[in-house]
Amino acid sequence: MVRILVAKPGLDGHDRGAKYIARALKDAGYEVIYTGIRQTPESIVVTAIQEDVDFVGLSLLSGAHNELFPKVVELLREKDASDIIVFGGGVIPTEDIPFLKEKGIEAVFTQGTPIKEITDFIEKRLEK
């Protein structure tokens, strides 16, 4: 069974997008753990490890993605959990995406991405 953590780092309280993704992933047959809003990268990483997830999906609308997304990847590495795959979404300017990918966020889904694109990414990544 594939387990996915949907997490909201940072200070913005808008979780409609995160909840929508969580529901869609549930309907696609995955077990989705949802953290709620305003999580620190530290708490997200501990949660991912405790829950033994395969993926962490980060949702952020506040603009702090360039700091918080890489921080999650870095902490996972520190905790010997770099096998957990990180992807992200939310309000992310396209020019930031190459930087995020370089920092180990494997995929970034901006507003309006069809959900199929996310499940395709997950399935393809699982095959690897």
Partner 1 sequence: MDLVDKVQSGSIRGIARTISLIENNSPQKEDIIDELYPHTGNAMVWGITGPPGAGKSTLVDCLIKRERKQGRRVAVIAIDPSSPYSGGAILGDRTRMQKHSTDEGVYIRSMASRGHLGGVSVATGDAVKILDAAGYDTIIIETIGVGQTEVEIIELCDIVLLVLVPGMGDEIQAMKAGVMEVGDIFVINKKDRDGADRLKTEVEYVLGIKNALTGEEPNPVLLASSKLDEGIDELVEAIHDYLKKAQTTGRFEEKRRDRLEKEVYKIFSSKVHELLNIHLDIENNIGEWISSILNGETAPYKLINSKLNRFVKENRII
Asked whether the beta carbons of 88 and 67 are under 8 A apart, the reply is no
Site string for partner 1, 12-51 (x = CB under 8 A): ----------xx-xxxxxxxxxxxx--xx-xx--xx-xxx
SS (H, E, C) 37-79: CCECHHHHHHHHHHCCCCEEEEEECCCCHHHHHHHHHHHHHHC
CB of 92 to partner 1, least distance (A): 24
* Pick 28 or 64: Cβ nearer partner 1: 28
- Nearer Cβ to partner 1 (19/101): 19
Q: How many CB atoms lie within 10 A of CB 120?
A: 12
Residue labelled with tokens 């309006």 = 112
Count of positions on this chain that bind partner 1 (CB under 8 A): 29
> Rounded CA gap, 120 and 60, in Å?
21
Residue 30 C-beta: closest distance to partner 1, Å: 5
Interaction site with partner 1 (CB under 8 A): 1, 3, 22-23, 25-36, 39-40, 42-43, 46-47, 49-52, 79-81
